[in-house]
Structure 1
């Protein structure tokens, strides 16, 4: 494939963005491992019998408040910022062909991931990126206007779909999450005992739950909103010049707390407010910490994790499946939450070390290198 486009070299990268990607990867694992470990499918009666039930309940509450729904918005905002970087090259000859091929390759990587983890977001991000192509030459502030419109559309669609198309739940909920037509005990038994068939059973059941028209009516406006928000923030220099300022992280925290309160007290439709503004609060706090010498030295350890975000994101799914599913060790729905979190910490420690040493020999992670090779038609991965 012939073109004049080249990947961003290391000395031109914005370090804060890599640190934020690494930070997001941590939160995403803490969210996903609750599903991949079978914790949220475990009947409440079984959870009560596990070691240290009170500690597990408190940890579940903390994850619900501080983690769940807060880190995917960071990921989407950063993806939108990456799109903005790409769109700055849109006046160059052959850009549309190049960008379309780049996103198509990413779709293929995501579809590969979805064969064993239905919660994959790579496919969704790449497909939605095509929607922003007509807007590639817009000014940064125009992105904010359109993002605000998409924010309102998301809230309205979510509110009315919840009101008029409520999700069907079993009369008696025996676990945190039920997949349609599948009882928790049936699911756990299959995943633990049926090997590859069990892996496909839960993946197929989750895909049927996730890929529905009502769900995408809900999530489409929010996805485009967060992409546009990321483009606006990068285009206006927010990440480099403004994110660390008190007026931002204080405002984000207040709005995030208000949104979370409204979600818990009135309607889940308000979750977009709490989640997005707390995600922005996390971004601002990370930017603030990066301003200090000690803080920068500490958080820079997350930069390799973020530079290999695609590899680490998919690697997390593979490692968890090998630990929890019947194709591996088979600990699905067996571990108390504090041990599940401990496993997550071990995985993250391994990924931080792996990313650090991999990037000493290569410019990009394994999947990042493959993506660039297929996109650019050249191998840029050697140091």
Structure 2
């Protein structure tokens, strides 16, 4: 399968946003206990960093990554009539195994989520393209949750169904997890993540709406593949895409920022929630348009193309970002969770991402696939594949930097 460099660059860009988001959050994946609110607010600039991350990073970059996952399904399976759905299902099983190992270390893992929700792509393989778009947009906008909340708000007052917390309050669970992170008891963290961590993940997916949003983004990515936009990137009116998505996305960000606060009425907060989910569609489109336009630039494009190798090994990049974050913040590493400014954490994330770009470029000068990508491919094909580049591969390999 011929790789599309712009797609790899977009994936690398999404991974940049993901590590920046997680670094600012201290690689926590749970509620922050009240006594630790503002744990990374050391300097006035940290307030600005928090504003930027909350409004322009959270929910935006993972949306790009998720849509690209759906597009990858098209490139691997849906665009090939003779390709086996069973093989893709096995690929998802292996992804879940990799994700499980990742999850027991970092309960914010999304590989297991992708593996489970990826099944919807198989189920929609034979569905007409128009239905895929409508269903994808409805789910990506958190339609089921909006209908449920709207119904409860306007027609009947119902108490929210209690979350499954294993008999403990959410505050007790948050305190327990935060203490484990600070103390750095590795074995206890593994046990907690493999038990309470999955309950926490389910509750988060349900309360945040990502239980619907992630499959919706997958379907939108599949729709992009069906429409073959990835093959016609030069024909996309990028300036119009940028203008329209920005004109819609920025007001939605503003509405969410102002109206999602607890001191507003339930109806106003309801509107704020809708605007948040909608902004997480339009702002990613704005980012995608900007990056693709920059990619075409003779000057800026040279720097954008550094994202290609790191995006090509997206699985490896994502997992090792977690390894770095856990080492920096958790007690069994450097234990800097309560000692690091949020802005400084962003700086460390940026430096590590630059190192990942350089490593990825070096790696692909010698190997065909990223380390975890190679293992995943071997497992999918159930055979050990050669990963070393042949001389012909080296000649044809033309990454933008030497």
- The TM-score bracket by the shorter chain reads 0.7 to 0.9
SS at match of 1:361: coil
Aligned to 2:189: 199
TM-score (normalised: structure 2) = 0.81
How far did residue 158 of structure 1 move? 5.8
Aligned to 2:220: 229
How far did residue 278 of structure 1 move? 0.2
Inter-partner Cα distance in structure 2 for 1:183 and 1:120: 17
**Among 311, 316, 326, the residue aligned to 2:331:** 326
User: Given that residues 40 and 339 in structure 2 are in contact (C-alpha distance below 8 angstroms), is that contact kept between their aligned partners in structure 1?
Assistant: no
**Among 379, 382, 396, the residue aligned to 1:377:** 382
Instruction: Give structure 1 stretches of 5+ with no counterpart.
Output: 1-7, 170-177
Are residues 1:13 and 2:3 paired?
Answer: yes
Structure 2 CA distance for partners of 1:146 and 1:190, relative to 1, 3 Å: closer
Inter-partner Cα distance in structure 2 for 1:244 and 1:205: 47
User: Given that residues 29 and 344 in structure 1 are in contact (C-alpha distance below 8 angstroms), is that contact kept between their aligned partners in structure 2?
Assistant: yes
User: Given that residues 40 and 46 in structure 2 are in contact (C-alpha distance below 8 angstroms), is that contact kept between their aligned partners in structure 1?
Assistant: no
The answer to which of 273-282 and 146-155 deviates more is: 146-155
Are residues 1:245 and 2:225 paired?
Answer: no
How far did residue 351 of structure 1 move? 0.8
Inter-partner Cα distance in structure 1 for 2:71 and 2:373: 17
Structure 2 CA distance for partners of 1:55 and 1:254, relative to 1, 3 Å: same
User: Given that residues 157 and 217 in structure 1 are in contact (C-alpha distance below 8 angstroms), is that contact kept between their aligned partners in structure 2?
Assistant: no
Are residues 1:58 and 2:48 paired?
Answer: yes
User: Given that residues 110 and 123 in structure 1 are in contact (C-alpha distance below 8 angstroms), is that contact kept between their aligned partners in structure 2?
Assistant: yes
Inter-partner Cα distance in structure 2 for 1:155 and 1:350: 41
Aligned to 1:281: 286
How far did residue 77 of structure 1 move? 0.5
Inter-partner Cα distance in structure 2 for 1:45 and 1:332: 10
Instruction: Give structure 2 stretches of 5+ with no counterpart.
Output: 164-168, 260-267, 390-402
User: Given that residues 99 and 111 in structure 2 are in contact (C-alpha distance below 8 angstroms), is that contact kept between their aligned partners in structure 1?
Assistant: yes
Aligned to 1:30: 20
Inter-partner Cα distance in structure 1 for 2:73 and 2:152: 30
The answer to which of 373-382 and 310-319 deviates more is: 373-382
How far did residue 142 of structure 1 move? 3.6
Inter-partner Cα distance in structure 2 for 1:160 and 1:200: 40
Inter-partner Cα distance in structure 2 for 1:50 and 1:145: 42
User: Given that residues 161 and 214 in structure 1 are in contact (C-alpha distance below 8 angstroms), is that contact kept between their aligned partners in structure 2?
Assistant: no
How far did residue 66 of structure 1 move? 1.3
Give matches, 1:1-383, under 5 Å: 8=1, 12-37=2-27, 41=32, 47=38, 51-52=42-43, 54-88=44-78, 90-92=80-82, 95-150=84-139, 151=141, 152-157=143-148, 164=158, 180-182=171-173, 184=175, 187-197=177-187, 199-200=189-190, 203=193, 205-212=196-203, 215=206, 218-239=209-230, 240-264=233-257, 265=259, 266=268, 267-378=272-383, 379-383=385-389
User: Given that residues 196 and 327 in structure 1 are in contact (C-alpha distance below 8 angstroms), is that contact kept between their aligned partners in structure 2?
Assistant: yes
User: Given that residues 188 and 333 in structure 1 are in contact (C-alpha distance below 8 angstroms), is that contact kept between their aligned partners in structure 2?
Assistant: no
How far did residue 207 of structure 1 move? 3.4
SS at match of 1:290: helix
SS at match of 2:365: helix
Aligned to 2:393: none
Inter-partner Cα distance in structure 1 for 2:302 and 2:18: 23
How far did residue 164 of structure 1 move? 4.8
Inter-partner Cα distance in structure 2 for 1:296 and 1:334: 37
Inter-partner Cα distance in structure 1 for 2:368 and 2:213: 33
How far did residue 60 of structure 1 move? 0.6
Inter-partner Cα distance in structure 2 for 1:370 and 1:351: 19
Aligned to 1:174: none
User: Given that residues 105 and 189 in structure 2 are in contact (C-alpha distance below 8 angstroms), is that contact kept between their aligned partners in structure 1?
Assistant: yes
User: Given that residues 252 and 275 in structure 2 are in contact (C-alpha distance below 8 angstroms), is that contact kept between their aligned partners in structure 1?
Assistant: yes
String of CA shifts for 1:77-135, please: whole Å, max 9, x gaps: 10010111123355316x02211111111111111111111111111112111122132
How far did residue 159 of structure 1 move? 5.1
How far did residue 197 of structure 1 move? 4.1
